[in-house]
Amino acid sequence: MKLLEKIVRSATPSNGIQFRNTAYGTKGVREFLRDVIAIANASVDGPRYIVVGADADTRGQRNFVGVSRDDFSGKPAYASLVNEYVEPPLGIRYQPVSVEGKVVGVYEIGGCEDRPYMMRVDFSETLRRGDAYMRLNESAMKMGRRQLQALFETKFQDAVSAANVEIGFPGEIIHKDRHIDITDLSELPSAVAGAKLRQMLEIKNDMRSKGATSRMARLTHARLFGSDDPYRDRSSDSLLENLREIEQDYRDQDRYFRFQEHGTDLQFVIYNQGEEAIREASLTLVMPQHPSLHIANEAPPRLVHGRLLANGAGEDDYPSVRHDDHSIQISATLGDIDAGGCVEVFGAPPRICVGKELEGKRLGIQYSIFAQNLRAPAKGKLRLLF
- Residue spans per domain, the chain: 2-156, 162-185+264-385, 189-249
Rounded CA separation 316/15 (Å) = 31
- Compute the C-alpha angle 129/133/139, nearest 5°: 145
Residue 313 has pLDDT above 90, yes or no: no
Distance CA 166, CA 341 (A): 11
Q: Torsion-angle region of residue 318: left (phi > 0), alpha (psi -120 to 50) or beta?
A: beta
Return all residues near 30 (Cβ < 8 A) that are at least 6 apart. Answer: 123, 124, 126, 127
Alpha-carbon Rg for the chain, nearest whole angstrom, is 26
Matching CATH number, 162-185+264-385, of 3.30.9.10, 2.60.40.10, 3.30.160.100, 1.20.1070.10? 2.60.40.10
- pLDDT value of residue 62: 85
For 203-262, write each residue's pLDDT tens digit. Answer: 666 665 555 556 666 666 556 566 566 656 666 677 677 778 888 888 888 899 999 999
Helix (H) or strand (E) holding 132: none
For the range 186-191, what are the long-range contacts, defined as Cβ-Cβ under 8 Å and sequence gap of 24 or more?
Answer: 187/257, 188/250, 188/254, 188/257, 188/258, 189/250, 189/253, 189/254, 189/257, 190/246, 190/247, 190/249, 190/250, 190/253, 190/254
Q: What percent of the chain has pLDDT over 70?
A: 88
Question: Which residues contact residue 164 at a Cβ distance below 8 angstroms, ignoring those fewer than 6 apart?
Answer: 272, 273, 274, 278
CA-angle at 245, arms to 241 and 248, nearest 5°: 170
pTM of the model: 0.60
Q: Please name the fold of domain 2-156.
A: 3.30.950
